[in-house]
Amino acid sequence: MTTRAGFVALIGEPNAGKSTLLNRMVGAKVSIVTHKVQTTRARIRGVAMAGESQIVFVDTPGLFRPRRRLDRAMVAAAWGGAADADVIVLLIEAHRGKTDGVDTILTALSEKATGRRVVLAINKIDRVEAPVLLKLTEEMNAAFPFERTFMISAERGYGVQDLREWLAHAMPEGPFLYPEDQIADLPMRMIAAEMTREKLTLRLHEELPYQLTVETEHWEERKDGSARIDQVVYVARDGHKGIVLGKGGETIKAVSKAAREELEEFMGRRVHLFLQVKVRPNWLEEAERYTEMGLDFRDGN
């Protein structure tokens, strides 16, 4: 029997639901999700099997107008993910429609994606009525020659099976790229750091989630089958450290507990998670921090 395998890049504005879709396709939480924009920072690969096809989904940071070095590196990583893909899926939000941000992406797609297969996925259809979808489909297809339009709810799973089947057939013939039981192409220490960053992002406000990074410093396998994981939360200012710790350390304790519980579920075994908060005023300009995040520091130039 002939097998198929290839890459599908998920691109779109921040918050479009790219990571939610990746997780649903893979059937596990490989990429972190929050209600805030700019959650995903690097390219994250999740592997899904569909019959005789292996689809490697590439989750990317959202495309937006970058201001800082980190933003520029994120946007470069997103376009890099699209450049390598066999199919590009552009996700937009049904209730927000064809925004200025979407227009900017369409213009860039016309320049960068010549000769590539591009499909549109209108996500969050649970939030609108059918006539809105029809109008948006028309509007989008008048602006760009999408090969297909899918209407989905990544969160609820509507329309996702159709998209999966279409992508499975669109993959080029060839041997599988990953072992069949592998679901992610991201080191465990990075997945663990991302889980902690998700919990921090959910509990902290305004600019703080964008001013911190999490790294796994030490990972120890214990004889009893559990793992001891030590992570550092880098913040840019003294004041931020106090906020991350919270009154009497209650914020960091809650973050640590939530991250540990999710890690234990993901790994199927006990985890001892230790978080330390360090002030590092210049971390956003340090090449090593970018490498740890899976980004290219020079992309931020």
Q: Is 104 in the site for ligand GTP (CB under 6 A)?
A: no
Rounded Cα distance, 147 and 181, in Å:
31
H/E element holding 275?
strand 271-279
Q: Is 16 in the site for ligand GTP (CB under 6 A)?
A: yes
Question: Rule CB under 6 A: which of 110-129 touch ligand GTP?
Answer: 123-124, 126-127
Distances (CA, A) of 80 to 157, 194, 201, 263: 27, 21, 25, 29
Q: What is the dihedral of CA 127, 129, 135, 138, to 10 degrees?
A: 70
Q: Is 216 in the site for ligand GTP (CB under 6 A)?
A: no
Q: Give residue 255's Cα distance to chain centre.
A: 20
Rounded Cα distance, 280 and 216, in Å:
16
Binding track, positions 229-268, relative to ligand GTP; x by CB under 6 A: ----------------------------------------
Q: Is 62 in the site for ligand GTP (CB under 6 A)?
A: yes
Min. distance of Cβ 68 from ligand GTP in angstroms? 15
H/E element holding 32?
none
Q: Give residue 152's Cα distance to chain centre.
A: 18
Options 40, 196, 201, 231; binder of Mg ion; rule CB under 5 A = 40
Options 8, 33, 73, 252; binder of ligand GTP; rule CB under 6 A = 33
Q: Is 34 in the site for ligand GTP (CB under 6 A)?
A: yes
Q: Is 53 in the site for Mg ion (CB under 5 A)?
A: no
Binding track, positions 183-212, relative to ligand GTP; x by CB under 6 A: ------------------------------
* Contact partners, residue 254, CB within 8 Å, separation at least 6: 199, 203, 246
Rounded Cα distance, 107 and 141, in Å:
13
Min. distance of Cβ 159 from ligand GTP in angstroms? 9
Q: Is 19 in the site for Mg ion (CB under 5 A)?
A: yes
Rounded Cα distance, 31 and 194, in Å:
8
Nearer to ligand GTP, 44 or 171 (CB): 44
Residues that bind ligand GTP (CB under 6 A): 12, 14-20, 33-35, 37-40, 61-62, 123-124, 126-127, 153-156
Q: Enumerate binding residues for Mg ion (CB under 5 A).
A: 18-19, 39-40
